[in-house]
Amino acid sequence: MSNKKDYNQQEIILDSISEGVFTVDENWRITSFNRAAHEITGIAPSEAIGKYCRDILHADVCQSDCTLQQTMNTGKAVTNRVVHIIDANGNKRAIAISTALLRDKAGDIVGGVETFRDMSTIENLRKEIMQKYSCEDIISQSPKMRNIFEVLPNIAKSNITVLIEGPSGSGKELFARAIHNLSSRKDKPFIAINCGALPDALLESELFGYKAGAFTDAKKDKLGRFDLAQGGTIFLDEIGDVSPVMQVKLLRVLQEKTYEPVGAVASVSADVRVIAATNKKLEILVEQGKFREDLYYRINVMRIELPPLKDRKEDIHLLINHFIDKFNRIHNKHITGVTDQAAAALLAYDYPGNVRELENILEHCFVLCSGDLIQVKDLPVHLRRSSGANQSCAASSGVTIKQMEIELIKAAIDRNNGNKTAAAKELGIDKSTLFRKIKSLGI
C-alpha cells in the first residue's frame, strides 16, 4: 500500500516538472515517461513504456554515441548535452539531455534516467542571430524548389559566381546564405550589401573602402565590404540597380580579382566569392542597354531562378505551419492552425510580396487572434475583402459553392499531407463521402 502511494507521489512529482524525464531498465526498455517527455516527443507514456528508448527518442546520438550508455559504462553523469531528435510532427528539434544512473537500495545499478528540455526556441533564435541557414531551413516541397535544392550543394562546393533571380521576398538572401554555409568558405565571413540602396559614391567606398585623405572627412582608412569578406562570400543584392560606372568597377573585381580602395594607389587582391541577386530580368536589361553584357556573362556563370509564391502554392500550408510555430515561440501563444475559411482565403491570395508577405500576414493574425485557430476576422483587411468577395460571388452565381468545396477539400488533404482518411475526419465527413466528392468534383 505504502509502495503504491510512493509510486503515485513519484509520478505526480515527475509530471509536475517542465523537463522531460524517462527511466530505462538494464535492457534499455523504458520504465517511466513523464508528461513533459510526452509534450516534447509527442509520444504518449502508454506507447513509450516497455519500448526501447531509441525507438521513442529518435535522437541522432542513440546509435552512434548514446549518452545513457556512456553513463551506464562509466558511472559518470552527463549534463546538458545538446542533441537532435525527430518529433512526432516530423520536425527536427534540439534538446539538451542529462543522464544519471539508477541504483537499488543495495547500490546495484538497475537502470538509468534521462532528463531533457526543449532547446528548439534557443536554437532557432541563435540561428536567426547568426544567420547560419542551410537547405533544411528553406521550407518547400514544390518540385521547382526541390530541383534547386538538388543542385545547391554542388553549386556551393564549386566556388563559382552565382546569380540568383527572383521577386522580392522569395528568399534570395536565404539561398545565398545557404550556398555560403554549404561551401568550404562557411567559416569565413558572409557579407551582404544592397547595391540599390546606396548612391554611387557611397556604394564605391562601401564596397572597396577608402584611404585616409581620399576625400574631405576621410581621416583614416576604412575597410570596404570586399575587405571584410576576404576568404568568404559577398552577396550583392539588387545588382540590376547598379549604375554603369559601378558596373565597370565590379567587372574588374570579377575579372582581375583585384580592386582599388578609393584614394589608393595600389590594387588589393580579393579572395571573395561573389553571389549576386536581382528581382529584375538582367537579360532584358542587357537588351535595353542598361546592364553591361560583359558583366552579365561574368555573374551569370550559374543562375538560380526562384519562383514566386503564387507559383508554388503547395508550399503555403507548410509555410503557414512554420510561421505559426515561429510566432507561437515569439509571442508565447498556443495557436494550433487556421480555420478552413481562413486557409481558403490564404490559398486564394496571390502574394505579390511572396514569403515575406505571408510571414507579415501571419504576424498580423497573431496579434489579433485570441483563440486556438486563426480565423478570417484575424486576417488583414485586403485578404478579408477578397475572401468576402469570393463568398458573395459564391452566393450570387451559385457555382462557386462547388469551387469552395474543391478548395476546402484540397486544403484539408494538403494539410494532412495527402492522408485522405485524416482529411475526411477533419472535414467532418465520412471517408467514402470524401472519395465520392473527389471523384465527382474532379479533384
Partner 1 sequence: MKIAISVWNNSLSNVFDFSTNVLIVDIEDAKEVARSKVNLEDTLAQQKAKKLKDLGVETLICGAISREVVFALDSVGIEVLAYVTGEVEEVLQAHLNNSLDAAKFVMPGCWHGARNGFGGCMRKRRLRSCAKEAINKKGG
Residues at the site binding partner 1, with contacts judged by CB under 8 A: 38, 41-44, 46-48, 51-52, 54-56, 58-60, 62-64, 84, 86-92, 135-136, 141, 143, 146, 149-150, 152-153, 416-419, 421-422, 425
Nearer to partner 1, 87 or 363 (CB): 87
Residue written as grid cell 550583392 = 236
Shortest reach from residue 56's CB to partner 1, in Å:
6
All three cell numbers of 267, joined, read 590594387
All three cell numbers of 276, joined, read 549576386
Cβ–Cβ under 8 Å, residues 349 and 355:
no
Nearer to partner 1, 56 or 282 (CB): 56
Shortest reach from residue 262's CB to partner 1, in Å:
42
Nearer to partner 1, 93 or 364 (CB): 93
Shortest reach from residue 36's CB to partner 1, in Å:
13
In a 3-state reduction of DSSP, which class is residue 323? helix
Shortest reach from residue 408's CB to partner 1, in Å:
18
Nearer to partner 1, 92 or 331 (CB): 92
Cβ–Cβ under 8 Å, residues 441 and 406:
yes
User: Cα–Cα distances in Å, from 259 out to 90, 98, 315?
Assistant: 48, 53, 42
CB within 8 Å of 60: residues ≥ 6 apart: 83, 84, 85
Shortest reach from residue 60's CB to partner 1, in Å:
4
Shortest reach from residue 278's CB to partner 1, in Å:
25
Tally of CA atoms within 13 A in the half-sphere of 137 that contains its CB? 20
Nearer to partner 1, 57 or 203 (CB): 57
Q: Phi and psi (nearest 5°) for 32?
A: -150, 150
Shortest reach from residue 426's CB to partner 1, in Å:
10
Shortest reach from residue 42's CB to partner 1, in Å:
6
Nearer to partner 1, 249 or 322 (CB): 322
Residue written as grid cell 481558403 = 344
Nearer to partner 1, 92 or 281 (CB): 92
Nearer to partner 1, 108 or 136 (CB): 136
Nearer to partner 1, 179 or 192 (CB): 179
For residue 111, the cross-strand partners are: 25, 102
Where b means 16+ CB within 10 Å and e means fewer, 288-299 reads: eeebbeebbebb
Closest among 323, 353, 356, 338 to 411, alpha carbons compared: 338
Closest among 331, 188, 369, 337 to 271, alpha carbons compared: 188
Alpha carbons 406 and 229: distance in angstroms, whole number: 51
Nearer to partner 1, 60 or 305 (CB): 60
Q: Which amino acid is at 350?
A: D
Residue written as grid cell 585623405 = 213
Q: Which residues in 289-443 belong to E strands, given as ranges?
A: 302-305, 337-338, 373-374
Shortest reach from residue 209's CB to partner 1, in Å:
36
Alpha carbons 151 and 172: distance in angstroms, whole number: 16
Nearer to partner 1, 152 or 376 (CB): 152
Where b means 16+ CB within 10 Å and e means fewer, 202-218 reads: ebbbbbbbbbeebeeee
Nearer to partner 1, 336 or 392 (CB): 336
Shortest reach from residue 210's CB to partner 1, in Å:
41
Cβ–Cβ under 8 Å, residues 409 and 441:
yes
Cβ–Cβ under 8 Å, residues 409 and 438:
yes
**DSSP assignments along 3-26, one per residue:** HHHHHHHHHHHHHHSSSEEEEEET
Shortest reach from residue 432's CB to partner 1, in Å:
13
Shortest reach from residue 103's CB to partner 1, in Å:
27
